[in-house]
Chains A and B, each alone.
Chain A
C-alpha cells in the first residue's frame, strides 16, 4: 500500500508544482488543490492504510486494524481545502469581471493604481463629452 501512496503523492505533487508555476490563475488554483490532495494522502497514510476496517467486533482484537483517527483528520483537511478552493475561484471570478484574462501579475503600488484610475475616469469623461 505504501509504495502506491508514495507514487501517487509524487505524481500529485509534481503536477501541482508545475501548475503552480503557470501564469494563469486558474491553473494556479488547480495546482494548489493537487498539492493539498498530495499532502492529504501523506496524512492518511500515517494510519497504516490497507488494514482491517476500524470496527470493533466482539471477540476480535485491534490487531491489524487501520487507525481511524487520520481519516477524521483528512476529512477535516479536505473540507478546509475545498472551502479554500471555492474562495479562490470566487476571487478569480471577481477579477475576471474586470478584465479578459485572469493572470498572476505584479502587485501595483498605490500611485500606479491612482494614475490608472485617473486615466480611466478621464477616458470616461472624454467618452461622455463625445457622445
Chain B
C-alpha cells in the first residue's frame, strides 16, 4: 500500500500546484517539502530492498501475471532514490531570483509529473506500463524544453520530439511482436515464455525494443537529439535531464537484459555500440565550445561505457554498469549545475567568451574540480571505481578492442575536462574586456550539496558496489518476481 502512496505523491503535488497556482517562492517551498519527504521515503525503500526484499503492489488485487503490478527490487529502488535526490537538488538550484519568476513557477508542476512518470517507469513490472510511463516523461520533457517560448526553444525541441516519437513507435511495434509470441507483457512472465518462440520473430521483437531504448539512452548513431536540445533548457532542469533521462533508456535495457540472453547477437551489438559511443562521443565533446553541448556529448560517451559493460553479458559487467550509471548521474548533474553558475555569471554558454572573475570562484572551481576528476576517473573519486569495474569486466571477458576503445576515450575525457578548466577558470584577468560587472549573485548551496554527495559516494564505493552486484544477481532471479516462474 505504501508503495502506491509513494508513487502517487509527486502526482498529487503536481495537481495541487496546477490548481492552486501559488507564487514562485511558495511553489518552491511546497515542492521542496514534498521532494524532501520523497528523499527520506526513498531511502527507507532502498534500505528495505537492500536486504533482498521485493516490494510488490498489485492494482485491484489481480494476481500476477494478470493485471497491473508494481515491483521494486534492488535495481528499481536504487534508481528511484537517485531520482528523488536529483529532484531535490534541482529544486534547490532552481531559484526565482536567478532563473526568473515565471520559469520557476511553471517548471515545478511539470517536474513533479516527470518524477511521477520516472517513478512509474522504475517500478512497473510490465512492459506496456513502461511504455506509458516513458511517454509521460517524454511529454513533460517536451513541455520543459519549450516552456521559455522563444523561437529557439520551440525549434530545439523538434529533433528530440521527432526522433523520440519514432523510437516510441518502434517500442510499440516490438511490444506487439513480443505479445504475439509470448502472450504476456509482464517481464518476469515473458522471460519464461519466449524461450521456445520462433527465433526470427523473437530477434525482431527484441531488436526493436533495443533500438528504441538505445535511442532514449542516446547511443552513437541515435544520439543527436540530445546535444541539440539540452543547451536551450533552463540550466537546473537540463542538469536533471542529463542526470536521469538517458538513464531511463539504460534502466529499460537493464530490465530486459535477461530476455536478451536468448539472442546473444543483441548483446554483441550493444557492446559495439557502447564502445563506439564512448570514443565518438568524447571526440565530439572535445570539438565543442558551447559548454552544455560539450557536456551532453560527454553523456553520450559515458553512457557508451556502461552499455559496453552491459553488453558483456556477465553479472559483474551488469553490476559495473549499474554502479557507473549511479556515478555518472551524480557527476554529470553536478557539472551541469556548475555550468549554470558559469553561464549566468558570464551571460554566455560559449567557453571562448567566459571570463572568470567574481565572488564564489574558489567554491565553484573546487566543485568543478571534484566533479571533473570524478568524471575523468582519478582515484579516490567514484569515477575511478566505476571505470575500474568496467575495465575489469571488459578485461575478464577478453574484449581487447572494447577495452582499447574505453582507455582511449578515458584519456580524451580528461583532455576535455582540462579544456573547460582552461577556458572557464584559468584565464588571467585582463585577457578579455570583462562584461561581467553586472554578474548575477552566486548561489552555492546546490553545488556544495552535490560535491559533498559525490565525496560521500566515493568514500562508500565498496558497499555501493556490493549493492550493485546484488542488484545484478537479483535481476536474473526472475522466478522471485511476481508473475515469474508461473
Q: B424 CB to closest chain A CB, in angstroms?
A: 15
Interface positions of B from 223 to 246, Cβ below 8 Å from A: 228-229, 231-232
Instruction: Check A104 against B158 for contact (C-beta < 8 Å).
Output: yes
Instruction: Check B169 against A20 for contact (C-beta < 8 Å).
Output: no
Interface positions of A from 64 to 107, Cβ below 8 Å from B: 67, 69-70, 73, 76-77, 80, 83-84, 87-88, 91, 94-95, 98-99, 104-105, 107
- Chain A residues at the B interface, C-beta cutoff of 8 Å: 20, 25, 28, 32, 35-36, 38-40, 42-47, 67, 69-70, 73, 76-77, 80, 83-84, 87-88, 91, 94-95, 98-99, 104-105, 107-111, 113
Q: Tell which of B18-26, B79-87, B147-155, B274-282 binds the partner.
A: B147-155
Task: Compute how far the CA of A129 lies from the CA of B33 in the bound complex, rounded to whole angstroms.
Answer: 51
Can you list 7 A-B pairs with a CB-CB distance of less than 8 A? A36-B165, A42-B177, A91-B154, A104-B158, A107-B159, A108-B151, A110-B349
The 8 Å CB contact of B166, one of A35, A98, A104, is A35
Residues A105 and B155 in contact in the complex (CB < 8 Å), given A32-B162, A83-B139: yes
Task: Compute how far the CA of A95 lies from the CA of B150 in the bound complex, rounded to whole angstroms.
Answer: 9
With an 8 A cutoff between CB atoms, is B392 at the interface?
no
**Residues of chain A within 8 A of B135, CB atoms compared:** 80, 84
**Residues of chain A within 8 A of B142, CB atoms compared:** 87, 91
With an 8 A cutoff between CB atoms, is B350 at the interface?
yes
Residues A46 and B180 in contact in the complex (CB < 8 Å), given A73-B128, A73-B175, A109-B290: yes
Instruction: Check A45 against B166 for contact (C-beta < 8 Å).
Output: no
Instruction: Check A42 against B172 for contact (C-beta < 8 Å).
Output: yes
Residues A109 and B231 in contact in the complex (CB < 8 Å), given A87-B139, A88-B161, A95-B151: yes
Q: A49 CB to closest chain B CB, in angstroms?
A: 11
Instruction: Check B231 against A110 for contact (C-beta < 8 Å).
Output: yes
How would residues 165 to 204 of chain B score, 1 for a CB under 8 Å from any chain A CB and 0 otherwise? 1100110110111011001010000000000000000000
- Number of A-B contacts defined by CB within 8 Å: 101
Instruction: Check B176 against A70 for contact (C-beta < 8 Å).
Output: yes
Closest to B231 in A: A110
With an 8 A cutoff between CB atoms, is B157 at the interface?
yes
Q: B381 CB to closest chain A CB, in angstroms?
A: 31
With an 8 A cutoff between CB atoms, is B348 at the interface?
yes
Task: Compute how far the CA of A92 lies from the CA of B409 in the bound complex, rounded to whole angstroms.
Answer: 40
The 8 Å CB contact of A39, one of B162, B172, B185, is B172
Interface residue total, chain B, C-beta cutoff 8 A: 42
With an 8 A cutoff between CB atoms, is B132 at the interface?
yes
**Residues of chain B within 8 A of A91, CB atoms compared:** 142, 146, 154, 157, 161
Task: Compute how far the CA of A99 lies from the CA of B151 in the bound complex, rounded to whole angstroms.
Answer: 10
Closest to B146 in A: A91
Interface positions of B from 289 to 338, Cβ below 8 Å from A: 290, 293
**Residues of chain B within 8 A of A20, CB atoms compared:** 162, 166
User: With A104-B158, A109-B293, A111-B350 given, can you name 4 additional A-B contacts, CB distance below 8 Å?
Assistant: A69-B179, A107-B152, A110-B231, A113-B152
Closest to A80 in B: B135
Closest to B180 in A: A46
**Residues of chain A within 8 A of B151, CB atoms compared:** 95, 98-99, 108, 113
Instruction: Check A110 against B169 for contact (C-beta < 8 Å).
Output: no
With an 8 A cutoff between CB atoms, is B156 at the interface?
yes
Task: Compute how far the CA of A113 lies from the CA of B148 in the bound complex, rounded to whole angstroms.
Answer: 14
Q: A56 CB to closest chain B CB, in angstroms?
A: 15
Task: Compute how far the CA of A38 lies from the CA of B162 in the bound complex, rounded to whole angstroms.
Answer: 16
Task: Compute how far the CA of A44 lies from the CA of B177 in the bound complex, rounded to whole angstroms.
Answer: 10
Interface positions of B from 335 to 371, Cβ below 8 Å from A: 348-350
Q: A29 CB to closest chain B CB, in angstroms?
A: 9
Task: Compute how far the CA of A28 lies from the CA of B231 in the bound complex, rounded to whole angstroms.
Answer: 24
Instruction: Check B350 against A110 for contact (C-beta < 8 Å).
Output: yes
Instruction: Check B176 against A35 for contact (C-beta < 8 Å).
Output: no
Instruction: Check B290 against A95 for contact (C-beta < 8 Å).
Output: no
Q: B301 CB to closest chain A CB, in angstroms?
A: 21
Task: Compute how far the CA of A94 lies from the CA of B147 in the bound complex, rounded to whole angstroms.
Answer: 11
Instruction: Check A77 against B172 for contact (C-beta < 8 Å).
Output: yes
**Residues of chain B within 8 A of A42, CB atoms compared:** 172-173, 176-177
Closest to B166 in A: A35
Closest to B292 in A: A110
Instruction: Check B158 against A84 for contact (C-beta < 8 Å).
Output: no
